[in-house]
Chain A
Amino acid sequence: AQSVAQPEDQVNVAEGNPLTVKCTYSVSGNPYLFWYVQYPNRGLQFLLKYITGDNLVKGSYGFEAEFNKSQTSFHLKKPSALVSDSALYFCAVFETGANNLFFGTGTRLTVIP
């Protein structure tokens, strides 16, 4: 069965420091992996995706994620956090052939000025 886990409900980081939001997945086939962000009062937005190709994927707002097949992880990273990055982040996985998309429970990122 497909699943995706975000082990941290809350991540706090100081402005200017690097940030990491963790995601691990479990699928039996090849995964499509995604990160979405939900800002207060601004709805859900797509950040980046991994389908095939380079393991390091670059997305919107300076975010990037690294696909690690051996560790079945897809952690979201940013070199220097901004206060405006404070939001709820969701990881998602789609298994080709399963025709369904599964979301993690979300991680609330707070960037402290």
Chain B
Amino acid sequence: KAGVTQTPRYLIKTRGQQVTLSCSPISGHRSVSWYQQTPGQGLQFLFEYFSETQRNKGNFPGRFSGRQFSNSRSEMNVSTLELGDSALYLCASSRNLAGGPPWDNEQFFGPGTRLTVL
């Protein structure tokens, strides 16, 4: 069974640009969550999607957005990039058949996309 895949793996952007990251979950997994990891702020939860609906959201500004498609693939978008957005962005998927909180089921993480903002 293929794992969670994230594209691209590495990305360099400049301040003010926008970026879209993609996450393909494990087949059959309906919940996709996004996380940001930085040396200064550590690991932080961004948002979680289930059946194309955002169910949970962390404390990030509106510049961070996401969506989920009918095949459960998810994208996250960051507009008007700032230097502080440089981070490893992780995606995780879980089966979540019952539709409860995503963390009722084991999450499987992708390798991440490392975004550098210059």
Chain A contacts to B: CB under 8 angstroms: 32, 34, 43-46, 49, 51, 90, 92, 94, 96, 99-106
Chain B interface, DSSP helix/strand/loop, else mixed: strand
Count B interface residues, CB 8 Å.
Answer: 23
Nearest Cβ distance between residue A99 and chain B, in whole angstroms?
4
Nearest Cβ distance between residue A101 and chain B, in whole angstroms?
4
Q: A90-B42, A103-B43 are in contact. List 10 more A-B contacts (CB 8 A).
A: A43-B90, A43-B112, A44-B90, A46-B106, A49-B103, A49-B106, A94-B103, A100-B56, A100-B57, A101-B58
In the bound assembly, the distance between CA atoms of A106 and B59 in angstroms comes to 19
Chain B contacts to A: CB under 8 angstroms: 33, 35, 42-45, 55-59, 90, 92, 101, 103-104, 106-112
Nearest Cβ distance between residue A106 and chain B, in whole angstroms?
6
A-B contacts, 6 of them at CB < 8 A, read: A49-B106, A94-B103, A99-B57, A99-B101, A103-B45, A105-B42
With A90-B43, A94-B103 already in contact, the answer to whether A99 and B55 are too (CB < 8 A) is yes
